[in-house]
Amino acid sequence: MKLKIALQKSGRLAEGSTEMLRKCGIGFSNGGGKLRTESEDFPLEIFFLRDDDIPDYVADGVADIGVVVENVLAENPKKVEIVEKLGFGRCRLSIAVPKVFEYGDVNDFAGRRIATSYPKILGEFLAKHKVTADIHQISGSVEIAPSIGLADAVCDLVSSGSTLFSNGLREVETVMNSEAVLISRMGLDGSVAELLAKLLFRIRSVQAASQNKYILLNAPKGNVPEISAVLPGMRSPTIVPLAEPGWVSVHSVISEHDFWDRVDSLKSAGAEGILVLSIEQMIR
C-alpha cells in the first residue's frame, strides 16, 4: 500500500515540494523527466503533473494527496480537503494600474476593463465591493495588457513586484494572498489515511523547526529567572553550570518571528555570548 502524491512537474512549486519531502526524509529521483516515480524511503508514489491539473487528479482519486497553490484552488474549486499550509510558493494576487491612473479606491474600477487569468477570484472581489467592471480573461502576459490598449488595469500574481514595475504598473489592491497547500481527496481512510498522518507529522516537525531557532547564552546564575522569563523554551530552558563559578549556560528554543526583540531583552537581562543555531527537526 502506497500513498499517492501529485506534485508539480516543473515550475515554482516543484523545488519547494521536493525540498519539503527531502527534509521529511523522503527522497526520490525525477531524472529523465519521468511522470511517475516512487520513494525508496517511504511508501510514496509520486506523479509529476501541471499544477492546474493536480486538484482534478486528487478530487478524482487518481492521487490521494497533492501540492497546489491557493490561487489555483480558489479560481477552480474542486472537492478536495486542504490539509496543511506549506509556507512556500508565496505570492499575492493584486490589481495594478498604469502609473498615470489616478487611483482613489476600488470604485475607480467601475466600468473599466481589467485583464486577468483569474476571472472568478477577481469577479468575487469586485462583487464584494459592489463594483461592476469588465473582466477581460487572458491566459498569459497579463502585465502588458494596459500598454497595448487591451485593458485599463490588470489583476495578476505578484511576488517581488519587479514585473509590474518594469511594465509601468503600480499595485493598488491585494485581492488574495496565496501559498502552497497540501490537499487530500475526500474521505481518505484506512492505511492511506495512516500514511498521510505519518507524513503530516513529519511536515509539521519540519515546519516547526524552520520557525524556531536554538539559542545558547551565558549569564550570571542570579539572572536566570529574568532570562527564563524571556525564554519559555519547549518546556523550560536547560541550565548548565559553567566552569567559572556563579555562571551558567542557558539553552532554549526561540520563535523566529519575535527573535530580535527577545535578543534585545536577553541582553538587557545580562546575557552574554549568545549563539543562535538553526534546527533540523522539532518533534513535539
Rounded Cα distance, 241 and 238, in Å: 10
Question: What are 162-168's contacts with CB under 8 Å, separation 24+?
Answer: 164/94, 164/96, 167/143, 168/98, 168/99
Positions 1 through 40 that interact with Zn ion (CB under 5 A): none
CA distances from 78 to 14, 21, 75, 114, 226 (A): 21, 24, 10, 26, 52
Pick what 71 binds: Zn ion, ligand PRT, none; C-beta below 5 to 8 Å, kind-dependent. ligand PRT
Please name the residue that has the C-alpha cell 483569474: 118
How far is 154 from 202, CA to CA, in rounded Å? 40
Stretch that binds Zn ion, among 30-38, 43-51, 109-117, 180-188 (CB under 5 A): 43-51
Contact partner, 175, from Zn ion, ligand PRT, none, Cβ < 5-8 Å per class? none
Cell, residue 134:
469588465
107's contact among ligand PRT, Zn ion, none, with CB below 5 to 8 A by partner kind, is none
- The residue from 52, 81, 134, 194 that contacts Zn ion (CB under 5 A) is 52
Nearest position to ligand PRT, beta carbon? 11
The one-letter amino acid at 27: G
Quote the CA–CA distance of 142 and 132 in Å, as a whole number. 20
Q: How far is the CB of 125 from ligand PRT (least distance, A)?
A: 16
Based on the shown chain and the rule CB under 5 A, indicate whether residue 41 belongs to the binding site for Zn ion: no
In the complex, minimum distance from the CB of residue 10 to ligand PRT, in angstroms, rounded to a whole number: 7
From the list ligand PRT, Zn ion, none, partner contacted by residue 210 (C-beta under 5 to 8 A by kind): none
Which of ligand PRT, Zn ion, none does 160 bind, CB closer than 5 to 8 A by kind? ligand PRT
Tell me the C-alpha distance between 215 and 250, whole Å.
8
* In the complex, least distance from residue 117 CB atom to Zn ion, rounded to whole angstroms: 9
70 part of the interface to Zn ion, by CB under 5 A: no
Burial readout 162-175 (b: 16 or more C-beta within 10 A, e: otherwise) = eebeebebbbbbeb
From Zn ion, ligand PRT, none, which one binds at residue 250 (CB under 5 to 8 Å depending on kind)?
none
Cell matching residue 185: 481527496
Residues that bind ligand PRT (CB under 6 A): 8, 11-13, 50-52, 69, 71-72, 89, 91, 156-163, 178
Interaction between residue 51 and Zn ion (CB under 5 A): yes
- Give contact residues for Zn ion (rule: CB under 5 A): 51-52
